[in-house]
Structure 1
């Protein structure tokens, strides 16, 4: 079992591995002093790098000029069979060094990297190479990286292998860069995703330094679920009340009119004392030369790179996972059906409600709010926790307000709550109160909804208008015993774009696991599968019950106008399930961007009005195709495009009071990568680089971020694009200016 030997192997091998890695980095950085440990960014950005963890009190900050995107192996046709099994879409391109899986020009930050293959054994992927600003900061076997063999900063829980994350492997080390990033694997990795943030400029960004062990962050994350991870604020005080709530009634736990923020919540509920035995994870069956996986797909061992898990290996894996889970208290070893039923009733029937400045922004089932869902299971996440032995639930989200905050607990069950206590901690903070008033910070939201899934329609985690950022979700699922409802991909559409910024490969993949959570329940600081039940352990007859959570802190998804975050149920929304989910986000209802102008190519009036010129006018080609997304009901568009190799110039109107501008480019992504130099008002910027290719769903909405220092105070921008001489022609159907306000 890998997780049992992390520390001993890390101690024994870290020197060899790191010395093998560092010469390439040392050569590239010769003479450069080590960067500072703290990498606080400029005023428009939330903390980056290690400060994301060190300054969690800044989690409510709403950034400008920040976009969160993802590269992944998702099926480009919108289906399910090519999400990674054959590696069809896993490489953006192939070089002498291997398979390029992520690439960006400009400033940004790698947030989360996840892989799986071969039931979680990623050794066949070979070496992982990460280049930032042209320098190799990591080059080592992927399996060694996720096993923690490299040493700090690549140590648990900042990395996790498949035993720790139940079938998937992950790297949660935040890695900022100023000019570029590229990630390459030696061999095709099959299933993967890389989630990263793109910044409008590099102001305040200090590139990741692999020589900084960030030991304080590792210590903080290791203690996840046991204490408040935020810096202590002066003047904090805690109010504690005994619980006494008849069915159908509400008890106020705390009310404060001192401007500042709520910092912690603790609820002790002795009546929720029942625990249930957890089921093991997923499985796969072998049938001769072909492998049939529980996803309902048949794979060829030769093509998938040795899917070599036989029955004996699976038995050993399952036993190892169970031993590890029992040893850490993840899997309760006994079950009291009556007490467990009471606990489930209270966890789903009690609702936590919070109001800030007169707005109710929190209304969620108690269990789901604390990550444990419909069953009392251990949770040790960074921002919340559940402890079954003491029936105690804790949360540490920073929850700012300008003038008034109220916390209540509603009893929607038929069981009177007659014991226990609730403690609410608050801290006075004029700075946080002012930030809420000026909308620099968003109010904390945790709104839940429950019900059956709808055939052909994805389940919505969050669909809202305004400005904010999505920071996590707690998800309770009940479906068929074959667990194929877990086939569903997540998709995130931001600010009206027709292309998803994030497109995943499966539900357990979104929760950074794999193979239907094949190692069984677990809990980590950012992700977990605390509970898995069937009829023998508390779920309904013939049904499978699964609870999962995911926190996105350094990879929070910012939006300025709207967000639509959904997940499929089944391969193509074709498996019935009953879901409940609670989305965690910060924000307000006031949009902070709008389309100030758009030039449509092929429209003579639009081209003339926007002074669209070129030394060689490219011919128009009519494209009738779809955008990526839903398999059955994709967004379609029929419009003319121009693919040019000659420089083009055009103007766009913008809001003079802007806080930066985004250029949204609607294009044909049939060929790639596409690249062009860009200058605005005569100022050269980093190249606009678009590495994606899709020959089936060819339309793409792609965005280039312009810094506020270049655009603020102007009413008009002149943009010049000079396509790269080597490579496909630069395609465009329209350019849209979105002014951030």
Structure 2
């Protein structure tokens, strides 16, 4: 137990259930931490229809007013307070976030909040005592030494003592059930607790070993090994390498015919030599990657999008896909086939382009669980984006629809945001087979992509990231990318993925979605796009509003205060030019959580002797208060009312003329 001292408490109980199989795909084997970790990095197993035949679901903090399509509350957006119920246990008030009975596995936990103080408790197999305790709303406090950044990732906004969250991919199996609760720390004003928990539900007869301290200790090396492999992927087999090089004229193609028989492509390396670097993004869009297996085309996507980068073909680093952002791409999606396979690069541009394709192919037996690899692409321009506080006007956009049998394994959202403010407030809603309510109902676009708090910054993890984020305001080009290992979603008849088109203001966006999935021979994606959309000219990159500067200004958001009230939280906030006015550097300093009498103090160094005219440029909004100023420890006799019915730039606030003084701490 010393391994998990202080930050992690685990009971030692191990539960098993053995009974005759009732599912035709079921095989008599025990699901353990080790088997799950092996599955996580087995491209062969991840490409097959699952056995035991589990289903995948998600519990989240979505707004519980969302009950049915067609009702205005279907687009309710208060996503930080949704829970299953509240329990009183041993005098504690515990908010129940997850409560499932029967055998299952948690495959992903995503969380974020403003204030992490409190206690997570995990109850396994109906026990009244928690088997796992985390002393904060922070998975970074789990304290499993072998767990690294491959399986546990802080979000780009993460602050250990402040806001921000993280995502955990370590599988948590349970034999009879699992309940997860959170208790706010006494005396702390509760803040929204956002979460998304993906899990598998297995048939009742499935034998599963429950998560415990002994299991974690036993699996230490396996956890560390998988974590390292996720960060440093390599082909699981080195087979026959087939390659070809060609200069593609307009409408020309490079084709690789694969060895006949039961085989699989384990890795593909693609290189594009573009003489015109200025047109790189457009030309990478106009090279189409195609694949045909056993006589059926299953892959068709612009190379820029297939790579996981999207418009502009930026840098990508993940478990399945890598790209250097210069035209060199590595694909590690397994592509099995029974009899024949063809890979193709097709040039739909008017330029001549040098390309090279290399495929690593090895024998792989085909059986009743085998599936074909699919990659489908669709694009639509001018999609309306609605404001988050107008749910009666909101709409959904169909991200993907698949008919047939298969497993959904991930996606890329590449877009141009025509509005100069955040576009991604909308939740994902995934319907599988006969769902009467989405089995996956999310809390926001960035949350689905393993980040939080509307980040506009590139990041990369084994499970995807944000390959492109041009402007702090989110205006212009953006891309989010997510692939699934243990959290892949099996479907037998139909898979439907809708996303709410909700942002911080009205506008519109151009969306291009690339989906990666496995399916049987008859499975097909609905509503895909073709050459006409791939050849559509990319929109010019907009001017960066951060380039606007007030002459001789000092940016408060870039300064560290010398003192402040304890309750104040300081943060840099994007000030998009959709507001009324322009902000120097397109940002301002925000100081939330303030109360009457609070203060913040700054010092300006390296000033020469003489008098300086001091002018403050501020922001006004409907939740801002009244502030006063002091300079050199003396009141400036100016009071500023920060209230305005809309967000706008204030008029210049002239504090007067002042001379520098010897540094003296203000009281």
**Normalised-by-shorter TM-score class:** 0.5 to 0.7
Check conservation: 2:417, 2:510, Cα contact below 8 A.
yes
Find the counterpart in structure 2 of residue 358 from structure 1: 295
- 543-552 vs 209-218, which moves further: 209-218
**Closer, same or farther: CA 17–483 of 1 in aligned 2, 3 Å:** farther
Query: Contact (CA 8 Å) 1:46, 1:63: kept in 2 or not?
Result: no
The structural deviation recorded for 1:403 is: 0.3
Contact kept, 8 Å, 1:385 with 1:393, in 2: the verdict is yes
Equivalent pair of 1:488/1:569 in contact (CA under 8 Å): yes
Compared CA separation, residues 379 and 142, structure 1 to 2 (3 A): farther
Higher relative contact order (CA 8 A, sep 6+): 1
- Structure 2 match to 1:138: 132
Matches within 5 A, 1:18-33: 18-20=4-6, 24-26=10-12, 28=13
Q: Structure 2: 5+ residue runs without aligned partners?
A: 17-24, 67-72, 185-189, 385-393, 524-667
CA contact (8 A) 2:286 2:348 kept: yes
Q: For 1:377, which of 314, 326, 341 is the aligned residue?
A: 314
Q: Quick one: distance in 2 between partners of 1:406 and 1:46? A: 38
**Residue equivalent to 2:216:** 210
Q: In 2, are the aligned partners of 1:221 and 1:525 still within 8 Å (CA)?
A: no
Deviation at 1:182, TM superposition (A): 1.1
Q: Is 1:485 aligned to residue 423 of structure 2?
A: yes
What displacement does 1:488 show? 1.6
Counterparts in 2 of 1:17 and 1:128: CA distance versus 1, 3 Å: farther
Using the size of structure 2 for normalisation, the TM-score is: 0.66
Q: CA deviation at 1:82?
A: 5.6
Are 1:101 and 2:97 an aligned pair?
Answer: yes
User: Aligned runs of 1:147-296 on 2, under 5 Å?
Assistant: 150-163=143-156, 168-187=165-184, 190-208=193-211, 209-224=215-230, 226-228=232-234, 231-232=236-237, 236-271=239-274
1:456-495 aligned within 5 A:
457-495=395-433
Which has the higher mean CA deviation after the structures are superposed, 500-509 or 445-454? 445-454
Q: Does 1:445 align with 2:441?
A: no
Q: 1:221/1:16 Cα in 2 relative to 1: closer, same or farther (>3 Å)?
A: closer
Partner SS, residue 282 of structure 2: helix
Q: Residue 470 of structure 2 is aligned with which of 529, 533, 540? A: 533
- 1:399-418 counterparts in 2 under 5 A? 399-418=335-354
The answer on whether the counterparts of 1:123 and 1:143 sit within 8 Å (CA) in structure 2 is: yes
**SS of corresponding position for 2:408:** strand
| Deviation for aligned residue 1:165 | 7.7
> Matched residue of 1:509: which SS?
helix
> Do residues 43 (structure 1) and 27 (structure 2) align?
yes
Give deviations 1:63-104, integer Å, cap 9, x for gaps.
36311111111123335886456x432353343352110110
The change in CA–CA distance for 1:513 and 1:165 in structure 2 (over 3 A counts) is farther
Aligned residues of 2:310 and 2:414 also touching (Cα < 8 A):
yes
1:619 paired residue number: none
Does the CA contact (< 8 Å) of 2:146 and 2:223 recur in 1? no
- Answer yes or no: is the 8 Å Cα contact 2:410–2:516 preserved in 1: yes
Q: Which moved more, 1:67-76 or 1:130-139?
A: 130-139
Task: State the 1:589 CA deviation.
Answer: 5.7
CA contact under 8 A between 2:9 and 2:132: conserved in structure 1? no
Query: 2:423–2:504: 8 Å Cα contact kept in structure 1?
Result: no
- 1:486-525 paired onto structure 2 within 5 Å: 486-517=424-455, 520-525=457-462
Q: Distance in 2 between matches of 1:225 and 1:363?
A: 28
- Local SS of the residue matching 2:248: coil
Residue 585 of structure 1: aligned partner: 517
Aligned residue pairs: how many? 478
Q: 1:396 to 1:83 in 2, by over 3 A?
A: same
Asked whether the equivalents of residues 380 and 525 of structure 1 are also in contact (C-alpha less than 8 Å), the reply is: yes
- Structure of greater Rg: 2
What RMSD, in angstroms, separates the aligned Cα atoms of the two structures?
Answer: 3.2
Task: Encode CA deviations 1:446-496: one digit per residue, 9 max, x unaligned.
Answer: 010111254465333321221111010011011134443211211111113
Contact 1:453/1:459 (<8 A) preserved: no
Residue deviations 1:369-402, cap 9 Å, x none? 12111134332211111123x6421111111111
1:500 deviation in Å? 0.5
Query: Tell me, what secondary structure is at the counterpart of 1:470?
Result: strand
Q: Is 1:427 matched up with 2:362?
A: yes
Partner Cα separation in structure 1 for residue 60 and residue 99 of structure 2: 12
> Does the residue aligned with 1:342 lie in a helix, a strand or coil?
helix
Aligned ranges 1:590-629 → 2 under 5 Å:
none
Are the structure 2 counterparts of residues 88 and 145 from structure 1 closer, same or farther at C-alpha, using a change threshold of 3 Å?
closer
Supply the distance in 2 between the matched residues of 1:535 and 1:190 (Cα, whole angstroms). Answer: 25
Q: State the SS of the aligned residue for 2:304.
A: helix
Query: Could you say if the C-alpha distance between residues 54 and 344 of structure 1 is closer, same or farther in structure 2, counting changes exceeding 3 Å?
Result: closer
Native 8 Å contact 1:483 1:544 kept in 2: no
Structure-1 separation of matches of 2:152 and 2:414: 25
Structural mapping, 1:707-726, within 5 Å: none
Q: Would you say the 8 A contact 1:82–1:88 is kept in 2?
A: no
Give the distance between the partners of 2:426 and 2:28, measured in 1 at CA: 35
Sort the Cα spacing of 1:417 and 1:589 in 2 relative to 1 into closer, same or farther, 3 A.
Answer: same
Q: Distance in 2 between matches of 1:146 and 1:450?
A: 37
Deviation at 1:225, TM superposition (A): 6.4
| 1:426 shift after superposition | 0.7
Please say if residues 90 and 190 of structure 1, whose CA atoms lie closer than 8 Å, have aligned partners that are also in contact.
no
> Residue 550 of structure 1: which of 441, 461, 482 is its match?
482
Work out whether residues 268 and 391 of structure 1, in 8 Å CA contact, stay in contact via their aligned partners in 2: yes
Unaligned runs of 5+ residues in structure 1 are 1-14, 33-40, 273-337, 537-541, 592-741
What's 1:392 paired with? Answer: 328
**TM, length-normalised to structure 1:** 0.59
Q: Which residue pairs with 2:567 in the alignment?
A: none
CA–CA distance in structure 2, aligned partners of residues 18 and 46 of structure 1: 25
CA distance in 2, matches of 1:507, 1:468: 24
Secondary structure at the residue paired with 1:347? helix
**Aligned-pair CA distance for 1:268:** 1.9
The structure richer in helix per residue is: 1
Structure 1 partner of 2:585 = none
Query: Please, which moves more after superposition, 56-65 or 149-158?
Result: 149-158
- Say which SS state the counterpart of residue 163 (structure 1) adopts: coil
Tell me the residue number matched to 1:694: none
